[in-house]
Amino acid sequence: MISFNYENNFKLPNEHRVSSWISDVIQSEGCIEDEVNYVFCDDAYLYKLNVEFLNHDTLTDIISFDYSVGKTLQGDVFISTERVSENASDFDVAFEDELHRVMVHGILHYCGYKDKSESEAKLMREKENHYLGLIK
Protein backbone atom coordinates (compact mmCIF):
# COMPACT_ATOMS: atom_id res chain seq x y z
CA MET A 1 0.00 0.00 0.00
CA ILE A 2 1.27 3.44 -0.95
CA SER A 3 0.29 6.21 1.45
CA PHE A 4 0.88 9.94 1.45
CA ASN A 5 1.40 12.03 4.57
CA TYR A 6 1.90 15.76 4.93
CA GLU A 7 4.01 17.69 7.43
CA ASN A 8 3.64 20.99 5.56
CA ASN A 9 1.05 22.81 3.44
CA PHE A 10 1.78 20.78 0.32
CA LYS A 11 -0.89 18.40 -0.98
CA LEU A 12 -0.10 15.93 -3.76
CA PRO A 13 -2.60 16.31 -6.58
CA ASN A 14 -3.93 13.08 -8.07
CA GLU A 15 -2.82 10.80 -5.23
CA HIS A 16 -4.52 7.80 -6.87
CA ARG A 17 -2.70 8.32 -10.19
CA VAL A 18 0.69 8.63 -8.48
CA SER A 19 0.00 5.67 -6.20
CA SER A 20 -0.92 3.49 -9.19
CA TRP A 21 2.22 4.61 -11.02
CA ILE A 22 4.49 3.76 -8.07
CA SER A 23 2.76 0.39 -7.73
CA ASP A 24 3.39 -0.27 -11.44
CA VAL A 25 7.09 0.62 -11.01
CA ILE A 26 7.40 -1.82 -8.10
CA GLN A 27 5.73 -4.59 -10.07
CA SER A 28 7.81 -3.87 -13.18
CA GLU A 29 10.98 -4.26 -11.11
CA GLY A 30 9.85 -7.70 -9.96
CA CYS A 31 9.22 -6.57 -6.40
CA ILE A 32 6.26 -6.91 -4.07
CA GLU A 33 4.55 -3.83 -2.66
CA ASP A 34 4.03 -3.81 1.08
CA GLU A 35 3.76 -0.53 3.00
CA VAL A 36 5.47 2.51 1.50
CA ASN A 37 4.82 5.86 3.15
CA TYR A 38 5.67 9.13 1.48
CA VAL A 39 6.01 12.05 3.89
CA PHE A 40 6.09 15.51 2.34
CA CYS A 41 7.76 18.12 4.52
CA ASP A 42 9.83 21.30 4.49
CA ASP A 43 13.61 21.77 4.57
CA ALA A 44 13.77 22.19 8.36
CA TYR A 45 11.92 18.92 8.99
CA LEU A 46 14.13 16.94 6.60
CA TYR A 47 17.31 18.64 7.80
CA LYS A 48 16.55 17.53 11.35
CA LEU A 49 16.13 13.90 10.18
CA ASN A 50 19.34 14.14 8.14
CA VAL A 51 21.34 15.28 11.17
CA GLU A 52 19.67 13.00 13.69
CA PHE A 53 19.63 9.74 11.77
CA LEU A 54 22.36 10.08 9.13
CA ASN A 55 24.78 12.52 10.78
CA HIS A 56 24.68 14.68 7.63
CA ASP A 57 24.73 18.41 8.27
CA THR A 58 23.23 19.34 4.89
CA LEU A 59 19.94 20.02 3.17
CA THR A 60 18.62 17.31 0.88
CA ASP A 61 15.53 16.64 -1.19
CA ILE A 62 14.90 13.06 -0.07
CA ILE A 63 15.70 10.65 2.72
CA SER A 64 14.40 7.12 2.59
CA PHE A 65 14.30 4.60 5.38
CA ASP A 66 14.19 1.15 3.81
CA TYR A 67 12.56 -1.62 5.83
CA SER A 68 12.26 -4.00 2.89
CA VAL A 69 12.76 -7.71 3.34
CA GLY A 70 14.07 -9.30 0.18
CA LYS A 71 11.85 -8.25 -2.71
CA THR A 72 9.00 -7.15 -0.42
CA LEU A 73 9.24 -3.36 -0.33
CA GLN A 74 8.40 -1.27 2.68
CA GLY A 75 9.72 1.98 4.01
CA ASP A 76 9.30 5.67 4.67
CA VAL A 77 10.27 8.23 2.03
CA PHE A 78 10.64 11.79 3.31
CA ILE A 79 10.63 14.51 0.64
CA SER A 80 11.29 18.22 1.13
CA THR A 81 8.95 20.01 -1.24
CA GLU A 82 11.02 23.18 -0.70
CA ARG A 83 14.16 21.44 -1.97
CA VAL A 84 12.26 19.85 -4.88
CA SER A 85 10.94 23.27 -5.87
CA GLU A 86 14.41 24.82 -5.78
CA ASN A 87 15.90 21.91 -7.74
CA ALA A 88 13.14 22.16 -10.34
CA SER A 89 14.03 25.81 -10.80
CA ASP A 90 17.76 25.05 -10.96
CA PHE A 91 17.26 22.28 -13.53
CA ASP A 92 14.62 24.26 -15.44
CA VAL A 93 11.97 21.53 -15.15
CA ALA A 94 8.41 21.57 -13.87
CA PHE A 95 7.93 21.06 -10.13
CA GLU A 96 5.71 18.04 -10.77
CA ASP A 97 8.34 16.40 -12.97
CA GLU A 98 11.07 16.88 -10.37
CA LEU A 99 8.76 15.64 -7.63
CA HIS A 100 7.98 12.48 -9.60
CA ARG A 101 11.70 11.95 -10.25
CA VAL A 102 12.47 12.12 -6.54
CA MET A 103 9.55 9.84 -5.69
CA VAL A 104 10.60 7.14 -8.15
CA HIS A 105 14.25 7.57 -7.11
CA GLY A 106 13.35 6.47 -3.57
CA ILE A 107 11.46 3.44 -4.84
CA LEU A 108 14.33 2.44 -7.11
CA HIS A 109 16.64 2.43 -4.09
CA TYR A 110 14.19 0.04 -2.39
CA CYS A 111 14.32 -2.14 -5.52
CA GLY A 112 18.07 -2.45 -5.03
CA TYR A 113 19.50 0.26 -7.26
CA LYS A 114 22.41 2.31 -5.97
CA ASP A 115 23.83 5.64 -7.13
CA LYS A 116 27.20 5.95 -5.44
CA SER A 117 29.40 5.22 -8.47
CA GLU A 118 29.20 6.90 -11.86
CA SER A 119 27.89 3.74 -13.53
CA GLU A 120 25.30 3.17 -10.80
CA ALA A 121 24.12 6.78 -11.05
CA LYS A 122 23.84 6.46 -14.83
CA LEU A 123 21.67 3.35 -14.53
CA MET A 124 19.55 5.02 -11.83
CA ARG A 125 18.96 8.05 -14.08
CA GLU A 126 18.03 5.78 -17.01
CA LYS A 127 15.51 3.94 -14.80
CA GLU A 128 14.09 7.24 -13.53
CA ASN A 129 13.67 8.55 -17.07
CA HIS A 130 12.06 5.31 -18.22
CA TYR A 131 9.48 5.36 -15.42
CA LEU A 132 8.87 9.11 -15.72
CA GLY A 133 7.77 8.40 -19.27
CA LEU A 134 5.11 6.02 -17.96
CA ILE A 135 3.24 8.23 -15.50
CA LYS A 136 -0.17 9.01 -16.89
pLDDT of residue 56: 87
Tell me the domain boundaries of the chain.
2-132
Q: What is the pLDDT of residue 136?
A: 67
Write down the CATH number for the domain with range 2-132. 3.40.390.30
Nearest to 103 by CA among 15, 27, 32, 43: 15
| Helix, strand, coil distribution of the chain in percent, nearest 5 | 50, 20, 30
Bridge partners, 82 (sequence order): none
Separation of alpha carbons 82 and 133, rounded Å: 24
CB within 8 Å of 49: residues ≥ 6 apart: 63, 78
Binding region for Zn(2+)? 105, 109, 115
Residue whose C-alpha is closest to residue 135's, from 79, 80, 94: 94
Binding residues: 105, 109, 115
**pTM of the predicted model, to two decimals?**
0.94
Question: Whole-angstrom Cα distance, residue 136 to residue 74?
Answer: 24
Number of Cβ within 10 Å of residue 42's Cβ equals 15
- E-strand spans in the chain? 2-6, 32-41, 62-66, 72-80
Please tell me whether residue 101 adopts helix, strand or coil conformation: helix
Reply yes or no on whether the pLDDT at 54 is more than 80: yes
Which pLDDT score is estimated for 134? Answer: 95
- pLDDT tens digits, one per residue of 72-108: 999 999 999 999 999 999 999 999 999 999 999 999 9
